[in-house]
Amino acid sequence: MITLKRGEEVELITRACEIVADVLDQIGGLVRPGVATADLDEWAESRIRAHDGARPAFKGLYGFPATLCTSINHEVVHGIPSRDRVLREGDIVSVDVGVCYEGYYGDGAVTFCVGDIAPDVRRLLDVTRNALDVGVQAAQPGGHIGDISAAIESVGLQAGYGVPRELTGHGIGSRPHEEPQVPNYGRRGQGLRLQPGLVLAIEPMFNLGRREIETLGDEWTVVTADRKVSAHFEHTVAVTSEGPRVLTVVPSRAG
């Protein structure tokens, strides 16, 4: 069921998203060679719980064991933090974090460089981040979900990347995952019409190689089938009468 959010609901989602943005803004300084993903996870949980009324959204969700999803190199999404997963020079790591604040959810992700990375991987990150910006701008009132999807897909295909079809963005609000799905592929003018009050998590994922993916034996970690690297960026976005409003921003940097 698709629900349009009232103003007070959007503001609670915004508060959750501001905490998400704060975590992602600060955790970048901790991402470096020699750091275990479990260290990032513990820091993020403490940072989130320091805010009254906030808790990690992912921990325990569908049985997921951690606060963050930390996906390294060819891991697309849902990597599980571990003491055994230590970042190395030249890696990339997607950090995906969700926050529940007073019963409402925010969600965001950034793929970080670990030291110096290869030029082709740097380009993958830059293009995927640009696709997020393009997808957000396509979230215009009166438009369609397919406008977002087609805009993202176009960026990825033009760059020569694989665009996974099994993983999508989603609605978000009083639940962490709501309808509608927001695929990273599609046709303009198709799908749900976008209306003010709709809140979406838009999250392009591009693979350096083919688009095919598979899930590892832990039943969580999704990897590229060809084991080439993958990048992932995400914002939570409210559709307003004036256009899209990105909610996952640090308040002091908004505007």
Q: Judge whether 69 lies within some domain.
A: yes
Nearest in space to 9 (alpha carbons), one of 245, 249, 199? 199
What pLDDT, on the 0 to 100 scale, is given for residue 252? 58
C-beta separation of 222 from 197 below 8 A: no
What is the Cα–Cα distance from 142 to 154, expressed in whole angstroms?
21
Domain count, the chain: 1
Q: Judge whether 26 lies within some domain.
A: yes
What pLDDT, on the 0 to 100 scale, is given for residue 255? 46
CA 222 to chain centre: 14
**Cα dihedral 45, 46, 48, 52 sign:** positive
Q: Judge whether 1 lies within some domain.
A: no
What is the Cα–Cα distance from 14 to 79, expressed in whole angstroms?
26
Query: Locate tokens 């609000």: which residue?
Result: 173
What pLDDT, on the 0 to 100 scale, is given for residue 89? 98
pLDDT in tens, the chain (255 residues): 899 999 999 999 999 999 999 999 999 999 999 999 999 999 999 999 999 999 999 999 999 999 999 999 999 999 999 999 999 999 999 999 999 999 999 999 999 999 999 999 999 999 999 999 999 999 999 999 999 999 999 999 999 999 999 999 999 999 999 999 999 999 999 999 999 999 999 999 999 999 999 999 999 999 999 999 999 999 999 999 999 999 999 875 654
Q: Judge whether 115 lies within some domain.
A: yes
Whichever domain contains 71, its CATH number is 3.90.230.10
- Exposed/middle/buried for residue 196 (C-beta within 10 Å: 0-12, 13-18, 19+): middle
Q: Judge whether 2 lies within some domain.
A: no
Amino acid, single-letter form, for residue 27: I
Distance in Å from the first CA to the final CA of the chain: 32
Q: Judge whether 237 lies within some domain.
A: yes
Q: Judge whether 244 lies within some domain.
A: yes
What is the Cα–Cα distance from 182 to 168, expressed in whole angstroms?
5
Residue span of the structural domain in which 15 resides: 7-253
What pLDDT, on the 0 to 100 scale, is given for residue 113? 98
Q: Judge whether 121 lies within some domain.
A: yes
